[in-house]
Amino acid sequence: MVQTGERLASTASERYLLIYMIAVLVIVTALVIVFFVVFLKRKNKLILDKIKQQQAFEEEITQAQTETQEQTLKNIGWELHDNVGQLLSFASMQLSILKMQASDEIKDKFKDTSDALRESLKEVRALSRTLNNEVVLNIGFEKSVSNELERLKKMKFASAKKFTKGDKRPFTNRKHEIILFRIIQEFLSNSVKYSEAENLSITLDYQPESLVITAKDDGKGFDITKTEKGAGLLNMKSRAALIGADLELKSEEGKGVELLLNYPFSQTT
């Protein structure tokens, strides 16, 4: 009986010891899992913080580059208007004086040169206005786009049209008007230089939550999968990212180029 009692006591003791060891193992395992989860959360938080810091840094760099570019454009605009414009005006005046002093036989020969000078002066003044932020803000985004298209139409295109859809609404942040206009201006500049297009079109579609801008040319296009990203495309994309807009460029050889730009009105930064 004594031995049986001792065996039972020993068995119960071993059982309690096993339960205790299992409990300790469960607790240790739970603690390891908790520590591991906490570690992962802290690690992910550090990674996210680093990503946010990197994004903030890149945004600051882009902002600084954009401000520098805008100041450069503004200075060029002033130079064109004040210096080049004055020189062209002076040349036109001198030519008019010479024309008055010339004989009737050669007066007609001055006509083409006079017309060219007057058109050059108009072009310089029109270009200087598009490079000045204050002018863009003063006349507004849509009028600036229309003026740019009209200027390019006179330069080389058969048609350059703007279409507006939906109910126009004001921008919460007027600086975004300038950035959107500069993106469009970059696209149009590339069309002038590379597309060999005859027609341009820009559609401004005012939707409830966003402004969808579509710019097209009917030029020679290019294989977008084989073309390296040039400064123009990178510049447009960095500007779009700065105001939270989505930008997509589509093109095929022989089918022109299309720019899609979706600007959410909720952006206020």
Q: 3-class SS at 160?
A: strand
Those residues whose C-beta lies under 8 Å from the C-beta of residue 102, and which sit 6 or more positions away, are 110
The tokens describing 258, both together, are 């299309």
Query: pLDDT (tens digit, 9 = 90+) per residue, 233-260?
Result: 788 888 888 888 999 999 888 889 999 9
> What angle do helix axes 104-130 and 141-155 make, rounded to 10 degrees?
150
Q: What is the pTM of this model?
A: 0.60
Q: Which single residue is written with the structure tokens 């001055």?
A: 110
Query: pLDDT (tens digit, 9 = 90+) per residue, 160-198?
Result: 999 999 998 888 888 898 889 989 988 988 888 888 889
Q: Where are the beta strands (DSSP E) in 17-148?
A: none
Q: Which CATH number fits domain 157-269: 3.30.565.10, 3.80.10.10, 3.30.70.580, 3.40.630.30?
A: 3.30.565.10
Q: 3-class SS at 240?
A: helix
Q: Which residues of the chain have pLDDT under 50?
A: 2, 57, 61, 64
What are the residues facing 260 on neighbouring strands?
A: 214, 248
Q: How many CA atoms lie within 13 A of 266 on its CB side?
A: 3
Residue 268 φ then ψ, to 5°: -125, -5
The tokens describing 53, both together, are 């810091």
Q: How far apart are CA 233 and CA 18, in angstroms?
A: 69
